[in-house]
Structure 1
């Protein structure tokens, strides 16, 4: 029997599937939060208050919540290639249509429809990757995948700032309208590419040898025999799953606080030029890329998730607190944003190893989507809360401390509900017993 070099095998897999998924994730996140940069012009052009902006930014996640679980169940049935392609083409077209909004109601409707369209992409990508990587390889793979999240902040900040500064008035469109088009059209094109090119069935791909296919299939099959495949009702009755929902919710409060409000926070430090704001918001994203790689590789090397996650949550909480203390000092303020962003963006790649460690099949698809959809409701709560409190008090201090407190809660929940084995693995047998 031919000996398979697993490092070579998974390098082949990563080269084939990660770049496309990362690019999709990059545009997914960019299209979701580019409204944060658009706000710098759009709010004054359309006379939107901070509360209107915060509500519109957040209502995206209500639509997202409604279709997230059904979308991932459909993906499991019809296949990742067709469904991810459909998701990307639909949300790309709707994102482009946002340039026509003129009133708060139109803004709310378009953001809600965008959430409906995008529902299912991220949990679909997570589920799809779990069909190619065994648990021991997922930390590194997801760490690389989530670089797209941080790079959208780096590249998105530079591109967004440049578009707002240099393309305003071109063709009769404002900079914020060009920003949405420049970041929406490539999404449609990538969705079309995915339909024709995404690899889906291990047995049919031509870039793996037959021994490699057999080895990968047997490894994944052996792992899946020890996982659960129960009905959705079983997920709803499982306390451990709900703890993961809460942990993911408070993580998203931090993520979307920094995503939707970072340009405004930098502007509040006294920076007024849109291009300079773009450059300064790129720095926390660059720092987060390094942090994500370090956390991901360290977690896999030490076969440990719990304490890595607790450290990441704690870093994020400290960073948000420092954002309040250093809000009027540009250099220190950007350092605070770097600490917050490094902590927040190091969380998801580690977090998703928890549910995928004990769920399989359609239960895994539904479980991932359930955690993601409910947790992403924080994307509605967080930006709206910040906008409302900023309009009410004229400051962001209270809201940022609330976000920091939520992240502390996440760290405490992780310490309370995840029992570690001697080598740091989550006690999967206990989790399986709780699911039953």
Structure 2
């Protein structure tokens, strides 16, 4: 009898589809801007050390190796705490966990103003990574609960572009602070930069606790029928992914697909880390001038790179072969890094353009990559698989800045480090095109073609 009074059951298909789109649109406007801003601030607080480096190294007498190790230790904390933090989200809910994580990393970033020795620098960078560890994989799982594949691909590319746009915030605000607040009340400009860029994180983390729902079922802006429509849409989408039956495996490390996926992400993050932690130095050596000029150049590069990421990811989301588009994005970044090595000391225009393409390529590569695991892993496995893949792959974030800084101290050039990053990222395309199908045929016989 209840079906007779189900208004959705008697609506024309077109009207029901419009209602569903309306519900998704309302949810997107409430969820994505908040998560976008938090991810932007996460990257500001982790990557502003690259801009602070322009003053901090000479002020504290740190070597390039000390800087590289400190920058990389962030990712060691990230690796250690990735799985526990995501497990905590499964227990406490997205709202509480994301809010606590944001406040924690914000306060740690404020404490960076007190760095005086390598030991303090190392400890705070590790702690910053430990706090941030659960945010990104937690958002991936959160998006899986909210959006079907097509919407999720576009929405996640918008969310991930915050990482690119964060460099705009770091560049423009950092350039101003280093130039105009250096020496204010006796503090160096780089110390002021850490404080001023971290305060918004603490405030927004508190706001997230009151505004962010744990999922569609607790979203106050949705009616009961809209919640049901969204949940039904997610369930139907999952039927087109990997098999959903069965419990989560406690032997994920023995699953070859986990290692292939982690290898792909490791390769992409290698190039991403090289760009993120050394771009200000590259631009200054390329002749872009003082702090403000470097900051403006970074802003322009990242704005164009973010636009390229969103455009390419949106285009890719219309097709089932997302892994092929991810491979193309990675190869664009590879070519750009190789050209960059030969251009940045001789041609400012080429340096600028190759950085735009490299940022767009790595950004799209990351955005598209995270749409792939759900096609090959059970839904019950995702809560553990996502942070596990992220943790394994983020060793790249630890190794890349450390080794790049060491190479610079030994050879006087970043060239070898960036060439190595480009070569490593090229392997991601190989694994995407060859590795995934081989493993999929072994694990999912008869289904691999449908998943590609």
Spell out, residue by residue over 1:274-328, the C-alpha distance to the aligned partner (whole angstroms, 9 max, x if none). Answer: 1111111222211211211211111122233122111111110011111111021
Asked if 1:256 is matched to 2:270, the reply is: no
The CA distance in 1 between the partners of 2:446 and 2:123, in whole Å, is: 42
Q: 1:239 aligns with which of 231, 252, 256?
A: 256
Shift in Å at residue 7 of structure 1? 2.5
Taking structure 1 as the reference length, the TM-score comes to: 0.94
RMSD: 2.0
The CA distance in 1 between the partners of 2:32 and 2:117, in whole Å, is: 39
The CA distance in 1 between the partners of 2:158 and 2:313, in whole Å, is: 8
Q: How many residues align?
A: 428
Q: 1:207 aligns with which of 215, 218, 221?
A: 221
Partner residue in 1 for 2:411 = 393
Partner residue in 2 for 1:353 = 371
Instruction: Give the 3-state SS of the residue equivalent to 1:418 in structure 2.
Output: helix
Partner residue in 2 for 1:182 = 196
Contact preservation (8 Å) 1:4, 1:211: no
Asked if 1:292 is matched to 2:298, the reply is: no
Q: 2:382 aligns with which of 358, 364, 371?
A: 364
Contact preservation (8 Å) 1:227, 1:357: no
Partner residue in 1 for 2:5 = none
Q: Which runs of 4+ in 1 moved over 6 A?
A: none
1:292–1:361 CA distance, 2 compared to 1 (3 A): same
Instruction: Give the 3-state SS of the residue equivalent to 2:437 in structure 1.
Output: coil
Spell out, residue by residue over 1:394-433, the C-alpha distance to the aligned partner (whole angstroms, 9 max, x if none). Answer: 011111110010111111111102339xxxxx99934999
Partner residue in 2 for 1:141 = 155
Asked if 1:375 is matched to 2:393, the reply is: yes
Spell out, residue by residue over 1:125-158, the C-alpha distance to the aligned partner (whole angstroms, 9 max, x if none). Answer: 1111111001232111111111211211223211
The CA distance in 2 between the partners of 1:418 and 1:69, in whole Å, is: 23
Instruction: Give the 3-state SS of the residue equivalent to 1:131 in structure 2.
Output: helix
Q: Which structure 2 residues correspond to residues 45-194 of structure 1 after superposition, within 5 A?
A: 45-194=59-208
Answer with 1 or 2: which has the greater Rg: 2
Partner residue in 2 for 1:423 = none
Partner residue in 2 for 1:412 = 430
Contact preservation (8 Å) 1:26, 1:148: yes
The CA distance in 2 between the partners of 1:324 and 1:37, in whole Å, is: 20
Partner residue in 1 for 2:3 = none
Instruction: Give the 3-state SS of the residue equivalent to 1:303 in structure 2.
Output: coil
1:378–1:331 CA distance, 2 compared to 1 (3 A): same
Instruction: Give the 3-state SS of the residue equivalent to 2:317 in structure 1.
Output: helix
The CA distance in 1 between the partners of 2:250 and 2:423, in whole Å, is: 32
Taking structure 2 as the reference length, the TM-score comes to: 0.90
Shift in Å at residue 204 of structure 1? 3.0
Contact preservation (8 Å) 2:51, 2:170: no
Structure 2 residue runs without a partner (length 5+): 1-8, 439-443
Shift in Å at residue 223 of structure 1? 4.0
The CA distance in 1 between the partners of 2:431 and 2:299, in whole Å, is: 31
Asked if 1:278 is matched to 2:292, the reply is: no
Shift in Å at residue 171 of structure 1? 2.4
